[in-house]
Structure 1
Amino acid sequence: MDMNRDKIERPYVPYEPLATVLPVVKPATSRSRKVKILLVLLTAAATFGLNHCWRGLDTDLPSSTPSTRADPPEFDWNALEPAKTIRWTSCYSGQKCARLLLPLDYGTPDGPTTAIALRMLPATDKVNYKGPMLINPGGPGGSGTDLVARAGKNISAIVGPSFDILGFDPRGIGASTPSASCFESDSQRQLWELQEDHRLLNASDGSVDIARARQTLLGQRCEQKIGGEWGIARFMSTPDVARDMLEISQQLGHEKLQYWGFSYGSILGQYFSAIYPDKVGRVIIDGVYDGHNYRGALWNSNLADTDAVIDSFFTFCHQAGPEKCALYDSTPAKIRARFFAVLHAVEAQPVSIPNAEPPVLVTRKVLQSQLFRATYKPLAQFVVVADTVYALESGNQTALAALAPKIVPPTECKCADLEPWLASNEAFSPIACGDGDEIVYDREAYAKYYENLVASSQLAGPLWANSYLKCAEWRVRPKWRWTGPLGAKNTSHPLLLVSPRYDPVCPLSDAQAVQDRYAGSGLLIQESVGHCTLAAPSLCTAKHIRAYMENGTLPKAGTVCGVDELPFVGAVQDVRALSVEDTELLEAMKGLSAAVPTFGFGGL
């Protein structure tokens, strides 16, 4: 991966402060010390630590930017007749597709149905064939069929050629029908999104009232469009999807599930393993959110490590030097001060980019959102944040115009609608809010909730705080909601949990809590920053995943993997010293790092 592909050419000049209000630079905290320790561990482990190891998904919200493609789609899902058994049809150059009819309500097997879209990259090693491995990219709301398109070959290269890689679109999502869409078209959805308040959420001003009113209106519209006795919104719960996964596996001749789920996909893996502990084959959950916090509709454990990821931006920028980081300065603290100076400056006076097409206005919310999104994918996006801040700081309008699509996407009006299976959806609320405890909005309780989130992360808290409002204003309740244990004293095979050291929305502490609930499960920690282990390529991690899938081998307790590439810095070892097999594995992991789940604020 070329970390400098968007690099702005410039000579290095020692920074001279602008006439802006500078924030007070925080003294070294336990979190900043964590980042310094992490940097040492990352560098040392990546350089030397592979000797003890064997060794997301670009899913930025299913895109709300419609396509202008006039040609027929590569594959027309609507033309594929659904059936009650899996009937594969050739599709997408060597892959197989099907639409499987399953009951909307498993308690009413002869009632209405949902057509679940399946897309499979077949195993190439038929002699040692081990069956299908289902995948889920997160969300909730992510398309598994799309994940096969973007990452299927790399996933196959990691788990081994004896597995089919099978992506499915959960109920209401992607090519599965009926769709959880509350709008008539994606264009209509975009027009609604354009009405979003330009202010960050703040419990002390009217921004919460506006945000809540929008969620109330959207909830009412969704209740009309996808609610009702047999509306899809009542039948999208995670236990429903877990039951679908079991049916898919069994129809393909496998009594036990093989699965790799990312982000919200970790919730789906937890539910499946709790409801069907005797049906667990190989289950990997990556980027782990605490199922108890999720089911409580709390969304308040997520930001425990967000600031550690943000602080790593300043640390890695400094380590990389002026040739690789536009915002380089003599210490990480000075880089941090410069970032916050620009952030405060655009808060006081938003910056216009008149030469962008269309023109763009950079506000504090815009800049803060860009940084938070970047914490999901530091390898790819930290450099963009640095370039953006440097261009704002220096008033470089040419650079800002070029960067505009990465600052305020979308920056181009495309009014031709996507094929239905590529459009956005409103799946988050029927799944996440339906799975969760019912919430009744209370102004004082929300103010306290907001205060606690901001205490966890000053920058991410105001963005994440909308999750609570979504569920507080959602009224459609699922037909089947799992209220049993979210854990298992015994599963037919141990789960494998994998987690970065610092994940911006699924902290390691959540993974550790979940591991304790599933007896015998293993936890692999990767010394990285970003969302899911895929955010940073690690040969060590890839080898452990391969060993688990092929042989059922768990990493030894306490195993920690180093990484092979760092934000800004780039590669940390000479790949020429690797074997052909290891090189292929590492390249597959690098390919996956571009597919990290980034569902944004109020989604995983």
Structure 2
Amino acid sequence: MGIIQLEPSTDINWTPCYDGHLCARLLLPLDYLSEDPDGPTTAIALRMIPAASRGTADYRGTVLINPGGPGGSGTNLVERAGANISRIVGGSFDVLGFDPRGTGASTPRVECFASAAERNIWMTQVGHQFLNASDHTLGLYRAREQVVAAKCEQAIGGELGIARFMSTASVATDMIKITEKLGQEKLHYWGFSYGSILGQYFSAMYPEKVGRVIIDGVYDGDNYRGALWSSNLADMEAVMDSLFTYCHEAGPLRCTLYESTPDTIRARYFGVLDEVARNPIAIPLAEPPVILTRKALITQLFSSSYKPLANYGTIVDTIRAIETGNQTALTALAPKIVDPTECKCSSGTIPWLAENDAFNAIACGDGEEHPYDPEYYANYYDELVKDSPHGGPIWAVHYLQCAEWRVRPKWRYTGPLAAANTSHPLLLISPRYDPVCPLRDALAVRERYSGAGLLVQNSHGHCSLSAPSLCTAKHVRAYMEHGVLPKEGAVCEADELPLIGSVSDVSAMSLEDQELLEAIRGLSEVVPMFGF
């Protein structure tokens, strides 16, 4: 039985679903500030993989997971990666994914467009030019955000509209209620990307309820709550440039763009992009047909920086196909370069997994109000582009989204995103080079939560999931099962590198370690696409 078909209840009534999982829909108050016990509710979708030790003395409780976004579906994360997450945290924990209010299979949902087809048509109008604060594209991008804001205000922004009740404070409180319904005193949690923000809110609002809380791929909560989106790109260029370093280290047999130095490979890559800028490439046999532009290729690199292990090979194949004029290869690669838009009344996508406007409702609603100011935005844009010349023009839209957003939440948490004492220390995990949640943000957040531990993974990509590391998996297991934090200054190496492949002797590992590494390797495809 699917989640959406279940009858919601004020208790968690587990029903067997899918393949050995349990599903439920939990009714919670829509408005936590209302004193009406019979007030409107939201039905939160839950999907759980039961612990192998459930019902025994070894059972340790339930771990809630959040996949980021904001707006990502926790129930879908359980479907795609729950078994591997369960293997990493250990068989003494249930793994529970929930869809934050307004998102996924939770109802009511954020739906500003009448259909997926209407949204797809709208997205075709964005054009082939990047946002630039000093030319006509700024007006276009602002106007687009004004349209979305107006549509959402009309569709979901009324007195009881779901957009008014999606704040992270409400979701953190939902986690308390879910935990209580499970009969658990404290929260166990692993949150990725935006999930790190949710973990910061929860730990600040309910420090006495912190059990095991991991925040992975850490964004500075103060920057987030300011609706600034200005600290994210500190390491973006380093991650993008890692493509050229890994290609050089991989050698000519594994990287067809190989040259004598990483800088030469970089020059070759951008030489192709410069030629495409002058002469965009038609791919007429792709379904649907597409035009390959410089913007499309930079956007491909930007999104690939989140998960280099999974995607750098596609970039190499793309550039080589352009160099050789291989239309057969380009036709096959087209859906991995340009998101395909299909003209169908039904796209085949499960409705509650379709694109939505949850990012605006959650992130902009949580943030301070800042109406658009042209002088401020020009300076803001320039600073972003200084951090990342290639990522800045993509990322700069987030400020516009929030500047034009009109719906304010009924409840925002405005206290400090910090805690002098939590009932158990937090564990922060950060890649050394994360494209949108830089290590410096993790260092800043760690200082606000007394006793918190920090594990640095010596890798490129978004969150620890982007690079398999047995060392990291072991630290997660030790923290979850025994509450043990990594030693001060702990660093984990990756066991597999983009284009290069495995750099560890798997045959020398114990069977248990091999299984753990295989589990963490299986997560590299589910890296959250934060704010993108």
The TM-score range, normalised by the shorter chain, is over 0.9
Question: Matches of 2:170 and 2:137 in 1, distance apart?
Answer: 36
CA distance in 1, matches of 2:290, 2:250: 30
Structure 2 counterparts to residues 388-537 of structure 1, below 5 A: 388-410=318-340, 412-417=342-347, 418-537=349-468
Matched with 2:3 is 77
Structure 1 residue 303 corresponds to structure 2 residue 230: no
2:207 corresponds to which residue?
A: 277
CA distance in 1 between counterparts of 2:67 and 2:155 reads 26
**Aligned Cα RMSD in Å?**
1.1
Matched, 1:542 2:473: yes
Shift of 1:423: 1.8
> Which of 121, 125, 133 is matched with 1:195 structurally?
125
Distance 1:355 1:365 in 2: 21
Distance apart, 1:78 and its partner CA:
3.2
CA–CA distance in structure 1, aligned partners of residues 519 and 472 of structure 2? 12
Quick one: distance in 1 between partners of 2:175 and 2:365? 19
> What SS is found at the alignment partner of 1:212?
helix
Distance, in Å, in 2 between the alignment partners of 1:82 and 1:223 is 27
Shift of 1:422: 2.1
CA distance in 2, matches of 1:251, 1:180: 25
Whether the 8 Å CA contact 1:197–1:211 is kept in 2: the answer is: no
Q: Which residue of 2 aligns with 1:254?
A: 184
Alpha-carbon separation, structure 2, partners of 1:548 and 1:474: 40
Q: Equivalent of 2:13, from 87, 111, 127? A: 87
Distance 1:503 1:260 in 2: 18
> In 2, distance between residues paired with 1:539 and 1:554?
16
Structure 1, residues 200-223: CA drift from partner, whole Å, max 9, x if none?
A: 111121111001101001100100
CA distance in 2, matches of 1:336, 1:491: 46
Q: 1:121 aligns with which of 49, 52, 71?
A: 49
Equivalent residue, structure 2, for 1:560 = 491
> Which amino acid letter does the alignment assign opposite residue 380 of structure 2?
Y
Letter in 1 for 2:497: L
The one-letter code matched in structure 2 to 1:404 is: A
C-alpha distance in 2 between matches for 1:364 and 1:90: 48
Q: Give the partner amino acid of 2:32.
A: Y
What residue is the counterpart of 1:153 in the other structure? 83
Q: Classify the secondary structure of the residue corresponding to 1:598.
A: coil
- Give yes or no for contact 2:14–2:22 (8 Å, CA) kept in 1: yes
2:40 aligned with 1:112, yes or no? yes
* Paired residue type of 1:100: L
Q: Distance in 1 between matches of 2:371 and 2:512?
A: 55
For 1:413 and 1:231, how far apart are their aligned partners in 2?
30
- Does residue 1:380 correspond to 2:310, yes or no? yes
SS of 1:289's partner is: coil
Cα separation, 2, equivalents of 1:365 and 1:415: 28
In 2, Cα distance between equivalents of 1:200 and 1:414: 28
2:523 is matched with 592
Deviation (angstroms), 1:448: 1.0
Local SS of the residue matching 2:164: helix
The answer on whether the counterparts of 2:197 and 2:221 sit within 8 Å (CA) in structure 1 is yes
Question: Distance in 2 between the 1:422 and 1:316 partners?
Answer: 34
Q: Deviations over 1:526-561 (max 9, x none)?
A: 000000011000000000000000000000110000
Counterpart of 2:514 in structure 1: which amino acid?
T
How big is the shift at 1:420?
2.5
- In the other structure, the counterpart of 1:577 is 508
1:317 aligns with 2:243: no
2:63 counterpart SS class: strand
- Residue type matched to 1:567 in 2? P
Match in the other structure for 1:351: 281
The answer on whether the counterparts of 2:30 and 2:42 sit within 8 Å (CA) in structure 1 is yes
User: Residue 297 of structure 2: which of 343, 349, 367 is its match?
Assistant: 367
Q: How far apart in 2 are the matches of 1:173 and 1:155?
A: 22
Q: Is the 8 A contact 1:86 1:98 kept in 2?
A: yes
Most deviating of 199-208 and 131-140: 199-208
Instruction: Provide TM-score, normalisation by structure 2.
Output: 0.98
Count of paired positions? 527
Q: Secondary structure at the match of 2:174?
A: helix
What is the distance in 2 between the residues matched to 1:320 and 1:107?
A: 57
Q: What amino acid does structure 2 have at the position aligned with 1:157?
A: R
Counterpart position of 1:54: none
Q: Secondary structure at the match of 1:416?
A: coil
- Equivalents in 2 of 1:464, 1:210: separation in Å? 16
- Worse overlay, 530-539 or 191-200: 191-200
Q: Does the CA contact (< 8 Å) of 2:2 and 2:18 recur in 1?
A: no
* Deviation string, structure 1 residues 27-71 (Cα, Å, up to 9, x no partner): xxxxxxxxxxxxxxxxxxxxxxxxxxxxxxxxxxxxxxxxxxxxx
1:311 Cα deviation after fit = 1.1
State the distance in 2 between where 1:336 and 1:93 align.
46
Residue in 2 aligned with 1:130? 60
Shift of 1:129: 0.5
Q: In the alignment, residue 488 of structure 2 is paired with which amino acid? A: A
CA distance in 2, matches of 1:141, 1:413: 25
Say if 1:405 and 1:411, in contact at 8 Å, map to a contact too: no
Range that drifts further, 407-416 or 586-595:
407-416
- Between stretches 246-255 and 398-407, larger displacement belongs to 398-407
Contact 2:233 2:387 in 1 (8 A): yes
Provide the C-alpha distance between the structure 2 equivalents of 1:481 and 1:124, rounded to a whole number of angstroms. Answer: 38
Q: Distance in 2 between matches of 1:571 and 1:397?
A: 32
List aligned pairs for 1:46-57, cutoff 5 A.
none
Larger displacement relative to structure 2 (370-379 or 423-432): 423-432
| Distance in 1 between residues matched to 2:475 and 2:6, nearest whole Å | 38
> What displacement does 1:241 show?
0.1
CA–CA separation in structure 2 for the residues paired with 1:413 and 1:319:
43
Q: CA contact under 8 A between 2:465 and 2:524: conserved in structure 1?
A: yes
2:13 maps to amino acid: R
C-alpha distance in 2 between matches for 1:187 and 1:533 = 35
Tell me by how many angstroms 1:136 deviates. 0.2
1:202 & 1:208 partners in 2: Cα distance?
6
Once residues 233 and 276 of structure 2 are traced to their aligned partners in structure 1, the CA distance between those partners, rounded to angstroms, is 25
Separation in 2 of the partners of 1:471 and 1:345?
35
Question: More displaced, 102-111 or 284-293?
Answer: 102-111
**Structure 2 counterpart of 1:289:** 219
| Aligned amino acid, residue 591 of structure 1 | G
Amino acid at match of 1:301: S
Q: Secondary structure at the match of 1:519?
A: coil
Letter in 2 for 1:326: T
Distance 2:260 2:233 in 1: 29
Structure 1 residues 227-275: Cα deviation after superposition (integer angstroms, max 9, x where no partner): 0111000000000000000000011011110000000000000000000
User: How far off its partner does 1:190 sit?
Assistant: 1.1
Structure 2 residue 216 is the aligned partner of structure 1 residue 216: no
- 1:404·1:411 contact (CA, 8 Å) conserved in 2? no
| SS of residue matched to 2:526 | coil
- Alpha-carbon deviation of 1:414? 4.5
State how far apart, in whole Å, the 2-side matches of 1:175 and 1:512 are: 35
The answer to whether the Cα contact below 8 Å between 1:496 and 1:521 also exists between their aligned partners in 2 is yes
